[in-house]
């Protein structure tokens, strides 16, 4: 996992509601999409997926070098193609996006 420092990096956290029988399928589909479109894009740091224990939620925590790198990636990679693929994954998993929020790291407490 990347070392997180205060006042560095741009973080996007997305929450989906999903039918529990499709939770892992949603994670797999979105992970594959990131691997296909974003993994090697300049400015991408990491993405992790968190599955709720009841199977009804998925959280994606992604870090980028900056807001600009995140925004520019969609333009450079073809926003329509990325969005269409994303919509297909979400629809096939009977999921819906609940929240998309952007953050910066304001404080870090570590046990190293």
Q: What percent of the chain has pLDDT over 90?
A: 58
Give tens-digit pLDDT for 7-39.
778 999 999 999 999 999 999 999 998 998 888
50 touches 58 (CB < 8 A): yes
Parent domain of 95: 12-104
46 part of a folded domain: yes
- Burial degree of 61 (CB within 10 A; 0-12, 13-18, 19+): middle
More confident position, 112 or 84: 84
- Classify residue 109 by its DSSP letter: -
Residue 25 lies in a domain: yes
Single pTM value for the model: 0.86
Do 33 and 84 meet the contact criterion of CB atoms below 8 Å apart?
Answer: no
Average pLDDT over residues 62-72: 90
Q: What pLDDT does residue 9 have?
A: 85
Is residue 77 over pLDDT 90? no
CATH number, position 20:
3.30.70.100
Number of domains in the chain: 1
CB 11 within 8 A of CB 62: yes
């Amino acid at each position: 996992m990347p070392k997180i420092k205060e006042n560095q990096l741009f973080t996007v956290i997305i929450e989906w509601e999903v039918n529990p029988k499709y939770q892992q399928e949603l994670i797999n589909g979105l992970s594959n999409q990131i691997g296909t479109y974003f993994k090697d894009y300049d400015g991408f740091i990491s993405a992790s997926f968190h599955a709720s224990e009841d199977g009804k939620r998925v959280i994606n925590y992604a870090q980028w070098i900056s807001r600009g790198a995140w925004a520019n990636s969609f333009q450079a990679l073809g926003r329509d193609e990325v969005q269409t693929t994303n919509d297909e994954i979400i629809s096939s998993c009977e999921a819906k996006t609940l929240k998309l929020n952007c953050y910066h790291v304001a404080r870090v407490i570590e046990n190293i």
